[in-house]
Structure 1
Amino acid sequence: MIERRPFDRLGGADHGWLKAKHHFSFAGYHDASRMGWGALRVWNDDTIAPQTGFPPHPHADMEIITYVREGAISHQDSLGNAGRTEAGDVQVMSAGTGITHSEYNRENVTTRIFQIWIIPDENGKPPSWGARPFPKGDRSGRFVALASGFKEDTEALPLRTNARVLGATLKAGESVAYALERGRYAYLVPATGKVDVNGVKLDARDGAAIRDEATLHITAIEDAELVLVDTAP
């Protein structure tokens, strides 16, 4: 089963400095049929104007992954962490027992991010934050784990949940396959480009909610940058 969720039909909000699209219910957008996909709870497609951002605010007991598509995001939190994550790179905040953070676009250009929330396997763990560069060339023609709750993914940022966030880049006409274990859920979004997934065509920034597909065969119709979440039910 692959359910295409067209970008132009997603929920969202326009705050002026922030233009947001929500793949799942979030903030003022509520759809009872889109409360999550397995342990995946939030996938926001955010466009942040230069020299603006999210002021300090709290979170608890959530794995929050930020994938920077364009520009850069500058993070600061109540643990004393601070960092700048550039396009193509990833940061992970495990909110745990509680953390307050800010996320600002300190650049002179627009920043675009995917923010992904996944429910942790256990609550009440100490909060943490980390970021890592993931050169797009290393993902050419293959999926690379960017953040993961699996010990074998040694190069990925750690998650406290039975899930992986993966990235790949494909040139037009190029294909990649991904095996999805029985009972697991996947959610795929092309950050850029058009792709075919087991016969279902996706445009840039469309979502695909996937289950009961043993293997995903993904072919790029045009050059594409992909982000995939593989999670437990």
Structure 2
Amino acid sequence: MIEKRTFADLAHVNHDWLQAHHHFSFGRYWDPARMGFGPIRVWNDDEIATQTGFPMHPHRNMEIITYVREGAITHRDSLGNEGRTKAGDVQVMSAGTGVIHSEYNLEEEHTRLFQIWIEPRAPGGDPRWDTKAFPKGDRAGQLEILASGFDEDVDSGALMIRADARLYGATLKAGNAIQHDIADGADVYLVASAGTLRVNGEDIAARDALAIRDISTLEIEALEDAELVFVEAFEQSN
């Protein structure tokens, strides 16, 4: 099963300082048919105006990944963490038993990012935050694991999350193609960050998405210079 969802089909909420496009139900946007995909509960495509952002607010029991597409985001939280994550890089926050944080665009340009929420494998745990630079050259023409809930990936340099999931990223030149064998039992939600791609015969443009289930292999070809990210996630067992 491959379900395509174009950027034009996403729910758009105009907050003046924030242009938010929601892949799944979130805030003002409610669609009982779009409550998530497996353990992925949120995928927001946000554009944040300069010198604005999200003031302090709470979270708990959620793994929150931010992939910065353009500009940068500055994080502060009730644990005393503070850091700036720039385009191409990733930050993660395990909300655990509870954390309060803010996210601001302190740059002189708009910041564009994907914010992804994934259910943790278990509730609770100490909240934590981390960020890491991932030079795009390291994933040119190949997939790189940017965040993961599996020890072997974290040992190899991925940011740690407490979920049975992996976040992959790649940049491809026009005409380049890569293949990925999907882990047994996993589903994939893939979004083109830039450029145009052909994935298993489906063409997608920048910020379009594919929900992929019951398929064993991804065949990804760049029709023009492109960047992509996807989450490979396992449904939680009860």
TM beyond 0.5 = yes
| Partner in structure 2 of residue 79 of structure 1 | 79
- What is the one-letter code of the residue matched to 1:190? A
Q: Please list every run of 5 or more consecutive structure 1 residues that lacks an aligned counterpart in the other structure.
A: none
> What does 1:1-233 correspond to in 2, within 5 Å?
1-153=1-153, 154=155, 155-233=157-235
Rounded Cα–Cα distance in structure 1 between residues aligned with 2:108 and 2:172: 29
- Cα RMSD after superposing both structures: 0.6
Rounded Cα–Cα distance in structure 1 between residues aligned with 2:142 and 2:34: 29
Q: How far apart are residue 31 of structure 1 and its match?
A: 1.2
State how many pairs are aligned.
Answer: 233
Rounded Cα–Cα distance in structure 2 between residues aligned with 1:131 and 1:147: 10
Q: Please list every run of 5 or more consecutive structure 2 residues that lacks an aligned counterpart in the other structure.
A: none
Q: How far apart are residue 12 of structure 1 and its match?
A: 2.2
- What is the one-letter code of the residue matched to 2:228? L
Is the 8 Å Cα contact of residues 183 and 211 (structure 1) preserved in structure 2? no
- What is the one-letter code of the residue matched to 1:118? I
Aligned-partner SS, 2:178: strand
Q: How far apart are residue 32 of structure 1 and its match?
A: 1.1
Is the 8 Å Cα contact of residues 95 and 128 (structure 1) preserved in structure 2? yes
Q: How far apart are residue 183 of structure 1 and its match?
A: 2.5
- What is the one-letter code of the residue matched to 2:105? N
Aligned-partner SS, 2:137: helix
- What is the one-letter code of the residue matched to 1:21? H
Q: How far apart are residue 142 of structure 1 and its match?
A: 0.8
Q: How far apart are residue 44 of structure 1 and its match?
A: 0.2
Q: How far apart are residue 181 of structure 1 and its match?
A: 2.5
- What is the one-letter code of the residue matched to 2:231? V
- What is the one-letter code of the residue matched to 1:205? R
Aligned-partner SS, 1:8: helix
Rounded Cα–Cα distance in structure 2 between residues aligned with 1:12 and 1:117: 18
Q: How far apart are residue 106 of structure 1 and its match?
A: 0.2
The one-character-per-residue Cα deviations of 1:108-143 (angstroms, maximum 9, x if unpaired) are 100001000000001110000000000000001111
Rounded Cα–Cα distance in structure 1 between residues aligned with 2:150 and 2:179: 20
- What is the one-letter code of the residue matched to 1:11? A
Is the 8 Å Cα contact of residues 49 and 110 (structure 1) preserved in structure 2? yes
Identity over aligned residues, as a percent? 60
Rounded Cα–Cα distance in structure 2 between residues aligned with 1:103 and 1:120: 21
Is the 8 Å Cα contact of residues 99 and 127 (structure 1) preserved in structure 2? yes
Aligned-partner SS, 1:152: helix
The one-character-per-residue Cα deviations of 1:16-43 (angstroms, maximum 9, x if unpaired) are 1000000011001111111111111100
